[in-house]
Structure 1
Amino acid sequence: MASTSRKTKSKPWWRDPAAWKRIGFWTLIGGIAFGVIAAVALTIAIFSTRASLPSYDELKSSPNGQMIRVHAVDGTVLVSLGPSYGEWIAHADIPEVMKDAIVAVEDRRFEDHWGVDLWGMGRAIRTGLANRGTGRRLQGASTITQQVARTIFLSNKYDFGRKMREAVLALAMERKFTKEQILELYLNKVYFGGGAYGIDAASRKFFGHPAKELSLGEAAVMAGLVKAPSHYAPTADAEAAIQRASVVLDVMVETGKISRAQAAATDPQGVKLAPEPRQNSVRYFTDWALPQLEVLIDETDAPLEVWTTLDLDMQRAADEAIRANAPGDAQGALVSLDRDGAVRAMVGGKDYVSSIYNRATQATRQPGSAFKLFVYLAALEAGHKPDDMVVDEPVTINGWTPRNSSRRNLGEMSLRSAFAYSINTVAAKLGQEVGFGTVANMARRFGITTPVNTQPSMVLGTSDVRLIDMTRAFASVAQQGVAVTPFGITRVTANGAVIYSHEVDTSHVLVAPYVAAQMTDLLQTAVNTGSGKAAQIGRPVAGKTGTTSSNKDGWFLGFSSGLTTGVWMGRDNARPVPGLQGGTAPARAFRSFMVKAVAKRPVEEFDTKVTLPEWQLDPEDNAYFAPDNGMFVDEDGNPLPEAPRDDALPAEEEEQAQPDQIDQEWIDRMTGRRAPPQPAPTRAPSPSAVRPPPRDWQRQPPADWPRQPPPQQRQQPERALPRDADDGYQE
């Protein structure tokens, strides 16, 4: 008889109640041990942090960021940048409505917690874990004490570790300072937007009065800003700030800080906001000058006082000149340099508010004839003289054939005449003679920082340049060939001590003084006899116009009485501006500005006397100079297939094409000279200087040019002077 035995199986441990009791016991023991260790560690951290905290007076003086105040040359504050601070307001002097409003909306349990709101902290941790990996910030629960800790000791980086450090600091601060001290710190240091830190700075900025005078409505507006200063600040969105103030009033009623009747009697819409200062053209200058601080000084914490070269009277005159003269929807820019390079005025556009793009320092455009400054400087340095005779004749250089805007060649003339009337063929021949690379090097030597091409057409201004660089080049000529470097900051002080002072360097000589004097001779002639007549100001002026293809750009650059000014006008999209030439709107803007800018300066004579070109003595020859309308070459400097029609020019330009009578006596009178009368020529002009008989096509307009009468048929006043006769890329 077989017997069977059954083996009994044991139960799994998870079904054993005794096992769960043991696990629960040890978990409780472990949790208690962990809690004790954590509490001890937290206590040690709090008290060690408390011991290392600065004193209350040190916390009051700790900076929130670097403040920079920028002064004009006369000491006037142009702009305050970075954080701004008002007076420190003691807790007892802070209006109760301000304290009640900020506590109600930011930390209603402020009087009850120990620096950390545990319920709020738990909510923040839970939200942070739920949003982990989503890129969203940890939300809420920062008490006023925590915000003070973050403002003074921590960054605005949002992560779990920072929240824990913030909590430890808050608990430590509550152990060291009173609630009144913490609230005082908070209200004097918290950021309210618009660059204002603390209630006094914010009150002065937004309401125009000290914080001690805050009303309930104003306090509600201020308390509502802290949540999102960049969004709710009145300077950013006044309507949003008012709406947020209504929410603050409701919270104050809910927390018992004010009654419902007080809230109903307070209308945030009735809060009067201080007007925001107008962001005028001064900001073009400060935006250019202030980034230079990074290389001039090392101070990054202490408040700075920056003293600049800007002359407010000149700046106003420059702004008015550009606004009044820049045509239609075209833009304009102006830079004016003193003899040492100090920037006295800078306008980067018609309106800084609508466009902060600084066309005086950032835009690169083709300069047209103004670039001939470097061509003639190179020629003069190579040995040419203003009275040297050159021949205006057809020329082809590497397949490029420049031509004059008159579409004619005048034969033999002086270098002075060629510059005054901006003869393109002569400029091309001079460039070829000295070398186009030499001309490019001359431009770089005089401060052109943009690339300069060395194609033959470069002599007509086909390389993009900046207005401030071109103005610098003309200023260096005015300084007898000594390099002029534009600067805008004269000195910087921090806590009353001078930490930077500008020193003018006059050691770099670019060309010999006699070369600069000869160039000034040519520039004077260009203003007194060429298209720069509109730039005359009743005292000696030397300068040059520039016009580019299809009237896209107009330039005038010149100097007088130690001040060099450059003007550019055109459209940002480089589209043509009908009638725009360097000798029209830019020259008029130059005159409008310079008349005011040099009014208090003594008249200064140039080293060289104004000498009229020989063409001035032969009125008949004036008929062969056509007006420069900037439309005779393409973007490579090559001739266009057909010339523009006269009726394409506006009436103003047609008038400009008929220059007024000017003689040597008038020029001597305008420049303050008493030159001896010029004797009449006693010899016949050389054969090469006599214009050949007109060709048949000159007598009869070509079939493809039906509306363009031949130049010799145009009515010209006696002894009329030609305009700056350039081809299309320049005047």
Structure 2
Amino acid sequence: MSNRSLASAGRLVPLLRAGLIAGIVVAAVAYPVAAATGLGAKFTAHALEHKTKILATALPAETSYLYAPDGRTVLTMFYEEYRQYTKLSDMSPNIQQAIVAAEDNRFYQHRGVDPKGVARAFVANARSSGVSQGASTLTMQYVRMALRDSATTPKEVQEATQQTSVRKVREMRMALDLEKELSKEQILERYLNSAYFGHRAYGIYAASEIFFSKTPKDLTPVEAATLAGLVKSPSEYDPASSDQKDATARRNYVLDNMTRLGYLSPDATAAAKGQPIRLKLSYPSNDCASVPEKWNSWGFVCDYVKNWWSAQPAFGENRLERLDKLRRGGYRIVLSLDPKVQEAAEKNVGTKENTGSPFANGIVVSEPGTGRVKAMAVNRTYSLDLSENGPSSNPEAGPKIKANYPNTVAPLLGGGTLPGYQAGSTFKMFPMLAALDAGMPLSTEFNAPYRYKSDVFDGWAPSNASGAMTGRQTMWSAFGKSVNTYWVWLEEQIGADKGVHLAEQLGLRWRTDVDKDQASPAKAKKWGAFTLGVSDATPLEMANAYAAIAADGRYCEAIPVQGIYNRDGTPAMYRTASGIEREVAKPRCRQVVNADAARAATDAARCPTGDTPARGSCGGWSTADSVRGTVGRPVAGKTGTTDSTRSAWFVGYTPELAAASFISDPDNPFNAVGDGQSQIPIKAVSQTLRDALKGQPTRQFTPPSDAMVGG
């Protein structure tokens, strides 16, 4: 044979080998077992069929939306892959045609695998001694994307994306099976919702919005061809780059293919190719830092929603799994805030202490009977930018440490990891409730001295804030004047652990090592100082605990939402310990103390506010006697200050709302607020309740029974 003939034969060998291999691969996918020993595959037909059925029903990760209480205004989104699932009927025919023209000209002719495309790719790759042409159909590409999206381990991700013959054969077999489960239209819809287009745009809805600020239904042929061209290589063909040469060439390639397939006329294609790529870029918000500036304070509520969500077993086994569900589950979350109450809270906090103060002044408003949070506000700006923050007020922190004002994302109001602030005499509510629930009446008397030495509490000897508190006191007068020695004596009668346990039942949690130790069963009986509020608490906890008293002793877990809906519009559900399915966003309530005891506690709690109790006497004066006049309707509550007035509190409630406000330095608890600032929480609560309830009918508290009043 001549040298020329030998050379020609040599060139035919790779082509023959490629054709043979192509034939083997196409044949292999038709067999029950899609694994040939030479390819090293270890999967079975049964396993692939099972996986295919899962993919037929699985949907890609989708963005979750946080809405204002109106259920329409989007405050922000949560996502790892920005995507909103869109039905094919809501997509322009232009994008449907363009993606077929760009990625799979024979999509409507093959059954998941295109034998001609496989053979052509093998021949082209053999000629180039590399990978110059692919053979993946739209169906095969969707299988790969769906396997990647459904992967739960690094190994599964690797298996879904690694460049091996095993993976390719698996995709072919699953593509053939998938086309038996889904129609071409269903596959195209899922493909367009799964594909990545660059710029964090996953799916055609996100791509249309990010690149052109419009919906997929409104895409023109030029825009559709531009987006379809991105799927092959989002970075290489990025039209947002300074040089659109490659993006334009790729777009024109797609337009030409659309013409060859009969989707566009030659004249329309020529006109389209003559147009420049005109983008209208937009950048979707993500997470709480993206809440619009006009609702900046709602960022703190958003942050609480995330923390609350991460504690809900309905969304996963642990915090990471639950947050992953938030960012991928496509939920619609509607806040429980009341805009009128929120506006009142923001106004009455913001005017009391400015954002540039080291002292944080915050307020939380809760709804009795539901636990729904109606307002959260603090004199801070919700922002990740801490560069211009003030110097730390803690001398031990050093000059380089910036304090959290005016900007912060710290959960200063509760719902996060911060322990809170010492709540002072607001804690006197818990031993009083425990005593009333145990059957002791409001008229229980004690001749309270200025200083009281407690043998029960190992000789501890607390004193009152003023000598004017000395003398015979009942629960009404002792609560109104905040007589320390009376409440220490009462703790002795019922056991300090009873008040601690009741506080826990009303939602308080011990976060510092000291509090956990003192609240332990071994030590709670000796925790006499508990009634003086030496423990840390958050405004969220205190508002919700007092809301339970306003609701006749029915405690409801704090909840920041009024609705959570799955991507299909159905309410998100969870299963209770007793096996009952309930909506995640529904109130979760239980009776903690009997209703009569709660009503009696409310009657005594009217004394601190300057209100008149239904049955007893407040003894002439109170610690916050301006509240009743400000609110203008029946109101109960309690003041609280700590040693040297390092923090000051007021918790107040009406039958409709309960509010807790504090002022303290969260960066340095030893930086005393001072007596002059102790009126700030009182005014914040009373004025917020006044403004929030303006125009509503006045409701009365239910008086306690004769048994609770006593003789």
Q: Which TM-score tier does this pair reach, normalised by the shorter chain?
A: 0.5 to 0.7
Contact 2:366 2:375 in 1 (8 A): no
Task: Confirm or deny that 1:564 pairs with 2:662.
Answer: no
Give the SS at the match of 1:604: coil
Deviates more, 1:322-331 or 1:471-480: 322-331
Q: Which amino acid aligns with 1:440?
A: V
User: Contact 1:552/1:577 (CA < 8 Å) preserved in 2?
Assistant: yes
**Residue type matched to 2:144 in 1?**
R
Local SS of the residue matching 1:578: coil
CA shift for structure 1 position 370: 0.8
Gaps of 5+ in 2: 1-12, 35-44, 105-113, 257-270, 385-407, 511-515, 574-581, 611-620, 705-711
Give the equivalent residue in structure 2 for 1:598. Answer: 693
Q: What's 1:361 paired with?
A: 415
| Secondary structure of the structure 1 residue equivalent to 2:364 | strand
Cα drift, residue 510 of structure 1: 0.9
Q: CA deviation at 1:420?
A: 2.0
RMSD over aligned Cα atoms: 5.4
Q: How do residues 209-358 of structure 1 correspond to structure 2 at under 5 angstroms?
A: 209-211=214-216, 213=218, 245-246=241-242, 249-253=245-249, 257=253, 271-273=280-282, 276=285, 278=291, 280=296, 281=298, 282-291=301-310, 294-295=313-314, 304-305=331-332, 309-327=336-354, 328-347=357-376, 350-354=380-384, 355-358=408-411
Give yes or no for contact 2:665–2:673 (8 Å, CA) kept in 1: no
Find 1:525's aligned residue among 607, 610, 618.
Answer: 607
Q: CA shift at 1:422, angstroms?
A: 1.8
Q: TM-score, normalised by structure 2?
A: 0.61
Preserved contact between residue 284 and residue 348 of structure 1 (Cα < 8 Å): no
Cα deviation, 1:650-702, whole Å, max 9, x if unaligned, reads xxxxxxxxxxxxxxxxxxxxxxxxxxxxxxxxxxxxxxxxxxxxxxxxxxxxx
Q: Which residue does 2:598 correspond to in 1? A: 516
> Is the Cα contact below 8 Å between 1:216 and 1:266 reproduced in 2?
no
> Cα gap change, 1:190/1:326 in structure 2, threshold over 3 Å: closer, same or farther?
farther
User: Residue 226 and residue 587 in structure 1: after superposition, are their counterparts in 2 closer, same or farther (change >3 A)?
Assistant: farther
| Distance change in 2, residues 1:193/1:390 (3 Å) | farther
Shift of 1:563: 1.4
Is 1:148 matched with 2:142? yes
Shift of 1:578: 3.4
Q: 1:386 to 1:582 in 2, by over 3 A?
A: farther
Q: How many residues align?
A: 545
CA contact (8 A) 1:561 1:602 kept: no
Which of 34, 44, 47 matches 2:28? 44
Pick closer, same or farther for the CA change 1:329–1:217 going to 2, 3 Å: farther
- Contact map agreement 2:371 2:556 (CA 8 A) in 1: no
> CA separation of 1:565/1:296 partners in 2, compared to 1, >3 Å: closer, same or farther?
farther
Q: Which residues of structure 1 form unaligned runs of 5+?
A: 1-28, 104-109, 128-139, 233-239, 610-731
Q: Secondary structure at the match of 1:457?
A: helix
* Pairwise CA distance, 1:174: 8.3
Q: In the alignment, is the contact (CA less than 8 A) between 2:237 and 2:250 conserved in 1?
A: no
Q: CA deviation at 1:181?
A: 9.9
Distance 1:297 1:603, change over 3 A: farther
Deviations 1:298-337, CA, capped at 9 Å, x for gaps:
9989865556644333334334444444452443443322
- AA in 2 matched with 1:508: Q
Q: 1:61 to 1:391 in 2, by over 3 A?
A: closer
Which residue in the other structure is 1:390 paired with?
A: 447
Q: Structure 2: how far apart are the matches of 1:101 and 1:588?
A: 66
Quick one: which of 671, 675, 683 aligns to 1:588? 683
Distance 2:599 2:593 in 1: 13
Q: Distance in 2 between matches of 1:556 and 1:241?
A: 60
- Asked whether the 8 Å contact 2:505–2:592 carries over to 1, the reply is no
**TM (normalized to structure 1)?**
0.60
Instruction: Please give the alpha-carbon distance, in whole angstroms, between the structure 2 residues aligned to 1:189 and 1:84.
Output: 10
Is structure 2 residue 431 aligned with structure 1 residue 431? no
Q: For residues 471 and 539 of structure 1, what CA distance do their matches in structure 2 show?
A: 19
Query: Using a 3 Å threshold, how does the CA distance of structure 1 residues 334 and 193 change in structure 2: closer, same or farther?
Result: farther
Q: In 1, distance between residues paired with 2:464 and 2:681?
A: 22
| 1:469 aligned partner, one-letter code | E
Partners of 2:599 and 2:189 lie apart in 1 by 67
Correspondence for 1:189: 194
Whether the 8 Å contact between 1:220 and 1:248 is mirrored in structure 2 is no
Q: Report the Cα distance in structure 2 between the residues aligned to 1:325 and 1:70, rounded to whole angstroms.
A: 30
Instruction: Report the 3-state secondary structure (helix = DSSP H, G, I; strand = E; otherwise coil) of the residue aligned with 1:532.
Output: coil
Report matched runs for 1:567-578 at 5 Å: 567-575=661-669, 576=671, 578=673
2:158 is the alignment partner of 1:159: yes
Q: What is the SS of the residue equivalent to 1:159?
A: helix
SS in 2 for 1:345: strand
CA contact (8 A) 1:221 1:245 kept: no
* Structure with bigger gyration radius: 1
SS state at 1:483 partner: strand
Q: Measured at CA, do residues 511 and 188 of structure 1 come closer, stay the same or move farther in structure 2, by a change above 3 Å?
A: closer
Q: Which residue of 2 aligns with 1:419?
A: 479
Residue 266 of structure 1, CA deviation? 5.4
Contact 1:115 1:170 in 2 (8 A): no
Deviation at 1:393, TM superposition (A): 2.3
CA drift of 1:475 comes to: 1.6
Contact 1:249 / 1:263 at 8 angstroms: preserved in 2? no
